[in-house]
Structure 1
Amino acid sequence: MEFSTNELLEAQAHVWNLLLGYVKSMCLKGAVELGIADVLKKHGKPMELSDLMSALSISPTRTDSFRRFMRTLTHMELFAEKPGHEVKYLLTPSSHLLVSGETMNVMSFVSLCLDPMISDSTHVIGPWFKSPKETPFELYFGKGLWKLADEKPEFKKMLDEGMASDSRVVTDVVMMKCGHVFRGLKSLVDVGGGEGTMARAIARAFPETKCTVLELPHVVDSLKKDDSVVNFVGGDMFVSVPHANAVLLKWILHDWNDEECVKILQHCKEAIPKREAGGKIIIIDIVVGATSDPHAHASETQLLFDILVMTCIPGKERNEKEWGRIILAAGFKDYKITPFLGLRSVIEMAQESTP
């Protein structure tokens, strides 16, 4: 097939754009490390470049370079410009998520994903396809993510903080946008619920719901025992799940392959009553191709995150067909997907009565 010169020049621009994609990530990382969002938030109004540099303790000798840096960040819509005699900068919804004092901030998650322990393993995605190693991470570092995290306390802390940061954001959005899915439940088990961020939010919003967190015994042992809002149970979701009206799986199943997901769902199915008794399973996860985000880049973001998951762990992000396959294999007859949460969706299903 022959291509015209114009087509090839357009293709070059496209390839260059893909080539330089990592620079966008590094600009984001630089913005977080400098604390630009914090300074703009504290200032409370649009800020001139010189004032912003002064507040960030950046030398005037870097003025031209920093202007170019901010020009790129505003093009990326991380910040916005207010035109005038002197351009002034202000926050956008995206940079609001980078304000350290806000409940909904993603700084720890950004730091985790852009740490060399995570990003470096993407260098071997190509060779990994011909490797016997389970993941590119294992090919690059010689061992799996979770094992390496256990050996490196600083990385483990970053991993935990990044996951906790994302959990707080998701929890806030879930309770604002789709809290009704928890209404009327007598009891709920949050499988793999970590420190109980989500379970506490549900218990506070619906005091009539008894909330339990199922976590690995060593995780439960490390938590404070003075929690009167939720109950913590040490156990293994591959063995059994405590009985409850509902089971919540928030960003759990993407960590596992299809066969493992079916086992988890089967144990969850055994833990809940039939549909007419109010039993149900609630999954919060990415459904590739389903999004409430109106921006065109949302689906691409889901695909890219799936590659990151593939790089680090033997899990995957699934489209509706793939979700349907494991849900039906676990013995459920139907399911409902609602893209409430930007890139993520709520999936609900119930256990049918035996005829």
Structure 2
Amino acid sequence: MAFVHGEQQAVPSDEDMVGAFALLYHHAFSYIKTMALKCAVELGIPDAIHGRGGAATLAEIANDAGVHESRLPDLRCLMKLLTTSGIFRATAADGGEVASYGLTVASSLVVGPRSLSNMVRFDSGPVSLTPFFDMPTWLRTAPAPEPETPKSLFELTHGRSRWDPANDDNDTMNVAAFAESQLLIEAVLGGHRDVFHGLTSLVDVGGGQGSFAKAIAAAFPGIKCTIMDLPHVVDDAPVAGGDVQFVAGDMFESIPTADAVLLKYVLHCWDDNNCAKILKHCKDAIPARDAGGKVVITEMVLGSGPHRDTKVAETEEMHSLFLTCISGVGREEHEWKKIFRDAGFNDYKITPVMGPISVIEVYP
């Protein structure tokens, strides 16, 4: 037995120590998995495998990705890590050597027209990563009222907000957001169309270029869709037509009336009080529940997704910590419930649609 601060504590077994060292090293070296995935995406390795019918040898990958022949051992090491971590799969030859590499469901998400490759580049790029080096300083710094005080960890590091046009990765961020949005649209309209049944009008608040609203209007010709965003966003928006229109506005002031209000990835950017303010304006814009009124929210609900395991839980918490970098908030169901109640809503329904992302229908 060992004594820690006067308390008797069992000495860890050899097996426990092996597991503890492995866990500690895994955390310390986890950034290497991130950089390995980013490297594979930038080399075009998933596309190379896809282009060869779903399986490729190491030499074929090297040739298609432009890897120098002297770097084959390094490429093999890269592929071994990404295979072990589930990004690729390996087929062994008779002697046990790897004969070829193939795509998994995960790596298939970074090839083709729906590719999330820019999401990988954005999330693992220096603009996103460097603020976390300043996290100890941020956590030790008390908020101050002065205007020059950084409002987020991101601002502490970069001297500007995440949404500032001067950020080097804004183009990558926009393309990544669009690709992820397309996957969400397909997931919602593919398996959860009942969310929009019975509606005759909908306002997509903060809808940007209007991709979600346009997809809803195409899938449900009877729904008139309005995309509301800030004036400078609407000014740059493409020309709408048919049952789709753009309207400039501010969700903190008012929202156009409709059967339903859509908030896609909006509320995680705001604290609880501001979320309640936004939702109160949503409530003012929709009819009573028996007349079809509701707010449709797409957000991550921590702890609510299906097929939940340690990897899913860890992913949710990593995303939640990432949001803190821009003063965003990841929330569990009870935290969402409190916001809905504070905004004057009576009921809600959560439906997981894509991993940890859910559709939340909130009723007055």
TM-score (norm 1): 0.93
Shift, 1:177, TM fit: 2.0
Instruction: List alignment gaps of at least 5 residues for structure 1.
Output: none
Map of 2:234 onto structure 1: 220
Q: Is 1:108 aligned to residue 118 of structure 2?
A: yes
Residue matched to 2:136: 126
Query: What is the match of residue 51 of structure 2?
Result: 42
Deviations 1:234-265 (A, max 9, x none): 10101011100001111110000000000000
Indicate which of 229, 241, 254 corresponds to 2:255: 241
Structure 2 counterpart of 1:128, one-letter code: W
Query: Which of 68, 75, 86 in structure 2 is aligned with 1:66?
Result: 75
| AA at the equivalent of 1:82 | T
User: 3-state DSSP class of the match of 1:150?
Assistant: coil
Q: State the AA in 1 paired with 2:358.
A: S
Return the structure number with greater helix share: 1
Report the secondary structure of 1:151's partner residue. coil
Contact 1:292/1:340 (8 A) holds in 2: no
Pick from 241, 258, 267 the counterpart of residue 281 of structure 2: 267
Match of 2:165 in 1: 150
User: 1:102 offset after TM fit, Å?
Assistant: 2.5
SS in 2 for 1:242: coil
Asked if 1 retains the 8 angstrom alpha-carbon contact of 2:297 and 2:360, the reply is: yes
Query: What residue in structure 2 maps to residue 28 of structure 1?
Result: 37
Cα deviation, residue 142, structure 1: 2.2
Once residues 215 and 232 of structure 2 are traced to their aligned partners in structure 1, the CA distance between those partners, rounded to angstroms, is 23
Number of equivalences? 345
Q: Is the 8 A contact 2:349 2:361 kept in 1?
A: yes
Letter in structure 1 aligned against 2:165:
D
State the distance in 2 between where 1:241 and 1:192 align.
11
Correspondence for 1:178 among 177, 182, 192: 192
Contact 1:292 1:341 in 2 (8 A): no
Classify the secondary structure of the residue corresponding to 1:331.
coil
Deviation at 1:27, TM superposition (A): 0.7
- Worse-matched range after superposition: 165-174 or 193-202: 165-174
Q: Does the aligned pair in 2 maintain the 1:185–1:209 contact within 8 Å?
A: yes
Partner residue in 2 for 1:340: 353
1:13 counterpart = 2:22:
yes
| Contact 1:177 1:341 survives alignment (8 Å) | no
Counterpart selection for 1:98 from 103, 110, 114: 110
The amino acid across from 2:316 in the alignment is Q
Partner of 2:147: none
Secondary structure of the corresponding residue to residue 213 of structure 2:
helix
Following superposition, the deviation at residue 13 of structure 1 comes to: 1.7
TM-score, length basis structure 2:
0.91
> Does residue 137 of the first structure (1) align with residue 154 of the second (2)?
yes
CA RMSD of aligned residues (A): 1.5
Per-residue displacement from partner, 1:298-317 (whole Å, max 9, x unpaired)? 12111100100101x22201
Unaligned runs of 5+ in 2: 144-149
| Counterpart mapping for 1:278-297 below 5 A | 278-297=292-311
Using the TM superposition, give the Cα deviation of residue 228 of structure 1 relative to its aligned residue in structure 2, in angstroms: 3.6
Alignment match, 2:85: 76
156, 177, 181: which one aligns with 1:163: 177
| Identity percentage of aligned residues | 37
- Give the secondary-structure state (helix, strand or coil) at the position aligned to 1:314: coil
CA distance in 1 between partners of 2:307 and 2:213 (Å): 26
